[in-house]
Amino acid sequence: MINLLRRTSITLTTAIAAVLCTAWCAQAELIDLDKFDLSLLMYARAEQIVKSDIRPEMGYPDVRDMNILDRGLYTVVGGRLGLSALLTERFSGYVCFDGHIWTQPVGEFQPRSITEVTSGGVHEAWARVAFGDIERKPFVLTGGLFNYRYATQMRDLGEYLFRSGVYPGYVFSGSEGYELLGLWLKSTAIPNMTHELFFTSIINEVPNFDLSPSYVGHVNIADVVTVGAGIMFSRLISVREEYTTPDSAITPIAREYVEGHGNVQYTHRGIKVMGRIAIDPKPLFNARLFGPEDLKLYAEAALLGTKNYPKYYEEPAERIPVMFGFHFPCFKLLDVLAIEFEYYGTQYMNDPYNNGVPIPGISRGEEAPSTDLEDHPGDADNWKWAIVAEKTIIDHLTFSAIAARDHYRIEDGNGYYQPHELTVMPGQWYWGLGLKASF
């Protein structure tokens, strides 16, 4: 990810020049503009953390005011410029640049410290080729950096297969899809079934760049029920094995003596499995009064690591996040009014980083991370919830609102998120308003 971003500035200058040249060539009628599509997305969000969670054991020993984030208003303003090209009937490409500016609530978690941060770079860049019948395109291969979702009815929680880790099993939330870098083969050759194979590089969590093959599939039953499943062989191919499976020479804590089990070597490598179901009853009756998103009921569960390890990963039930949601009927007054719940029984803090060690821990700044259960939330944070509403007006403007206690995280300035959740315990939550304009 870091190397990708370093190349971004060079890539951007070249891409800008390429776009401008394309524009000049178009003016000179050297190329066919009909094969190119422009898109522009503008977005703005304002979010207020009503009550948050900062604790010294989370690595902020200098914080004196545990309520420093509370009632603060954080804003994001940005846009995305997209250029898609249908170069032949089978071959297409897409590049999208994102730029946004946001406020970072506390720079180093000191009182009265706030930073405005600007960020820009490649959001998506991929090429796509279709095989088979040109009308149906039963096989489509995509390669590059692309945003992916497999359950678009989920508005905040869920989509665990890619929005999670394994050993430790952390989960993310949010309405954006997940960035994948690699290859994606999608097949719709069998009617009512979709099969997708992925071979992707892990670019957002350390250790970076390990390669993972995955499969996602779903069956559509009469447009009423969708059943899906997936499996991910996370970090099957390691870029540097000593980072994926830290041995005692580098990170002593990755190998522990456990009574009755001897020396246990922990690893980031593991298998995730996912199952989901979505029900939309509207095709069963006259649903003229309802919006296309109304009455959808959906659920998903995943197992983040099929193998048990002594001490930290003994109970599979503690590695199974489960979510369910429902779209209330809005009768077209709103596009969506969704309520979602999640139960995730892990006893440990839901943070992806522990100095690169595959053991759940809470960072304590310069001290060694704590794996003591006393320092972790335990069962107190197992339940999460989110309420999301959306409304589109004049075809181009979409307003949204959210209130949630989910896995809220602040951006990290490198296209991803800081590891620490901010709404963890009961009573901690946030609300937000959003505006998107798409052209």
Partner 1 sequence: MRTGVLAAVMCVGFSAGVATAEGDVTFDISGSFSADITQIVNSSNVRGVEPANSDWLDGYLLQTVDAKIVMAATAREKLKGSFALANEVSFGLPDDNDVAALRKRGSTTFLESAYLSYLCGDPQDSRADLTLGYFSYNYYPDSRVLGGYLFKTGIHPGYIISGNIDPKLRGLLFHARMREFLHHNIFVTTPENDLSLTYLFRAVAESFSLDAAFMAHRVVPYFEGKTDLAKEEANQSPLLHGYRDEDGTRIWYKKSGFKLVGRLTLDFKKMLGLNEERFSSQAMRLYAEAALLGIKNYPGYYERISERVPVMAGVSIPTLKLLDVLAFEIEYYGSPFYNNPIDEPKPLYLFEYSQGTDLAPSNMIHPDTSDVRALIGEHGKGDNIRWAVYAERTFGKSFSVGLRVASDHWRERSAGWYEPLEMLHGPDEWYWYLNFTARL
- Cβ-based neighbour number of residue 4 at 10 Å: 19
* 12 is an interface residue for partner 1 by CB under 8 A: yes
> Which 377-396 residues touch partner 1, going by CB under 8 A?
394-396
Among 60, 74, 160, 198, binds partner 1 (CB under 8 A): 74
Among 31, 50, 51, 79, binds partner 1 (CB under 8 A): 79
For partner 1, which is the closer residue by CB, 8 or 220?
A: 8
For partner 1, which is the closer residue by CB, 40 or 284?
A: 40
- Smallest distance from partner 1 to CB 397, Å: 7
- Smallest distance from partner 1 to CB 144, Å: 19
- Smallest distance from partner 1 to CB 76, Å: 10
Number of residues engaging partner 1 in binding (CB under 8 A):
59
Cβ–Cβ under 8 Å, residues 434 and 401: yes
Among 31, 50, 55, 81, binds partner 1 (CB under 8 A): 81
Cα–Cα–Cα angle for 150, 154, 158, nearest 5°? 80
- Smallest distance from partner 1 to CB 227, Å: 37
Cβ–Cβ under 8 Å, residues 118 and 100: yes
- Smallest distance from partner 1 to CB 68, Å: 7
Q: What x/- string results for residues 18 through 57 when contact with partner 1 is judged by CB under 8 A?
A: xxxx-xx-xx-----x---xx-x-x-x-------------
For partner 1, which is the closer residue by CB, 194 or 438?
A: 438
Cβ–Cβ under 8 Å, residues 209 and 203: yes
> Which 108-147 residues touch partner 1, going by CB under 8 A?
111-114, 116, 118-121
- Cβ-based neighbour number of residue 310 at 10 Å: 15
Pairing of strands 72-86, 139-148: unpaired
* 288 is an interface residue for partner 1 by CB under 8 A: no
Q: Indicate the SS3 state at residue 44.
A: strand
Distance of CA 75 to the CA centre of its chain: 20
Measured distance CA(242)–CA(161) in Å, rounded:
25
* 437 is an interface residue for partner 1 by CB under 8 A: yes
Spatial CA neighbour of 84 closest among 136, 118, 38: 38
List b or e across 69-96, with b for residues whose CB sees 16 or more CB atoms inside 10 angstroms: beebebebbbbbbbbbbbeeeeebbbbb
Q: Indicate the SS3 state at residue 28.
A: coil
* 77 is an interface residue for partner 1 by CB under 8 A: yes
Dihedral (Cα; 65, 67, 71, 74), 10-degree rounding: 70
* 8 is an interface residue for partner 1 by CB under 8 A: yes
Strand partners, 131: 139
What is the binding site for partner 1 (CB under 8 A)? 8-10, 12-21, 23-24, 26-27, 33, 37-38, 40, 42, 44, 64-65, 67-68, 70-75, 77-81, 97, 99-101, 103, 111-114, 116, 118-121, 394-397, 435, 437, 439
